[in-house]
Amino acid sequence: MQLKKNKSNSLPGYAGLLVGIVLIIYLFSQIDLAGAVERISSIGFSSVLILMPFMVLHVVETFAWIKVFPPGSPAIPFFPLLRIQVIAETVSMTLPAGIAVGEPLRPYLCKRFIGLPVPGSVASVAVRKLMLGAAQGLYTLVGALAGYGFLQEVSRYIIGFGHLGTLMVLAGLGVFLLFMLFLLLLLNGSVAQQLHRLLMLVPFTKVKTWLLAKESGFLDTDQALGSYRGTPSGGCFVAMTYYVLAWFMLTAESYIILKLLGVEIPFYQIFAIDIALAMLRSLFFFIPSGLGVQDLGYLIFFQAIGLHDFSAAGAAFVLLRRFKEALWYAAGYGLMLLSGVHLKDAEREGESDS
């Protein structure tokens, strides 16, 4: 019965993967692959620079995560937490519906590698996720304002009607306010206890038995979340700054790749394109790494701005971004293997505790 449940939960993820594969096949039918490979081969050793922003992103996100652990937590060692960050992010970004696997891994790995209590780690993961969402809202808002005129200009080509700039400004502001509201509700209520009561309404004896055994864990998580109340907000402000900086690494990466390919696009335009496609990728969260969606989006934007030989230059850009991801995710799975981590570890831990 449990096996069937897991399979059914994975169906949306596998459907997303299938959609991504279809989009990638279509993408390859529209690009000048030979021209793209020729452009990529001309870069040479400088191509290692493409790997740097993603590394900085992980480092910055790890510093931010340290800042959002509950007040009173023991000192968090940076490098073990960086290892957890890389492993969990790799799982979240590569598997069908990977967030459902990668995020629960974080508290388990914090307990295994650092010895942190699970309730405090769960609280930090919840706060981290909401702050990351709010930071995306700020990143989107700043990019939309910086490239407002550009987005308005290409709007009809991209979405078929005007006001793309206005839509992105409203989307950034809306996402920021929504995630900040969720964060305030999380830190000023008994969310875990309320969730426990809601789950107890499920009419399955085994589920209720498990929930009763785990009730103290829900209470401990609420206590950890409650510890944020009344504490100075400086740490959260620093964490938010770090998360916004982490989002900016995506634009820095795009800028570096285009420069190496010899493509001259103003920075504010690259910024505006990235915030729009990052938001689009978030909407298609069920497709691993936004496979196909983001790639086609870049090509459409490059065509809209009249980029010369966009089918080759744009394809080279997309291929380099995906190759960079492949290298980093391979490193993530290698680190996972060397650390003896398995995808089912968090689930097994929960079963052994029940």
Q: According to the model, what pLDDT value does residue 17 have?
A: 73
Q: According to the model, what pLDDT value does residue 21 have?
A: 83
Considering only CA atoms, give the Rg of the chain: 22
Residue 313: left if φ>0, alpha if ψ -120 to 50, beta else—which one?
A: alpha
| 125/333 Cα distance (integer angstroms) | 21
Give the mean model confidence (pLDDT) for residues 306-315. Answer: 88
| 341/11 Cα distance (integer angstroms) | 24
- Domain parsing of the chain, residue ranges: 49-188+229-353
Give the mean model confidence (pLDDT) for residues 6-17. Answer: 61
| 112/123 Cα distance (integer angstroms) | 17
Give the number of other Cβ atoms within 10 Å of residue 171's Cβ: 20
E strands within 211-270?
A: none
Pick the more confident residue, 58 or 351. Answer: 58
Instruction: List Cβ neighbours of 7 (8 Å cut-off, separation of 6 or more).
Output: none
Average pLDDT, the chain: 84
| 117/139 Cα distance (integer angstroms) | 32
Q: According to the model, what pLDDT value does residue 1 have?
A: 35
Q: According to the model, what pLDDT value does residue 193 have?
A: 54
Examine the pLDDT at 164 and tell me if it is beyond 80. Answer: yes
State pLDDT tens for residues 91-118. Answer: 988 887 678 788 888 999 999 999 998 8
Q: Which two tokens stand for residue 270?
A: 């690259």
Examine the pLDDT at 319 and tell me if it is beyond 80. Answer: yes
Query: Half-sphere exposure of 37 toward its Cβ, with a 13 Å CA cutoff?
Result: 4
Cα–Cα distances (Å) from 208 to 3, 8, 199, 213, in that order, read: 19, 21, 8, 9
Give the mean model confidence (pLDDT) for residues 312-320. Answer: 93
| 220/216 Cα distance (integer angstroms) | 6
Its sign, for the CA torsion 23, 24, 28, 30, is: positive
Phi and psi angles of residue 261, each rounded to the nearest 5 degrees, phi first: -85, -5
State pLDDT tens for residues 174-226. Answer: 999 999 998 888 877 655 555 545 544 555 555 445 444 554 555 556 666 76
| 251/285 Cα distance (integer angstroms) | 20
State pLDDT tens for residues 286-304. Answer: 777 777 789 999 999 999 9
* Banded pLDDT at 270 (limits 50, 70, 90): very high
Phi and psi angles of residue 165, each rounded to the nearest 5 degrees, phi first: -60, -45
pLDDT > 70 fraction of the chain, expressed in percent and rounded: 80
State pLDDT tens for residues 224-257. Answer: 676 666 565 667 889 999 999 999 999 999 999 9
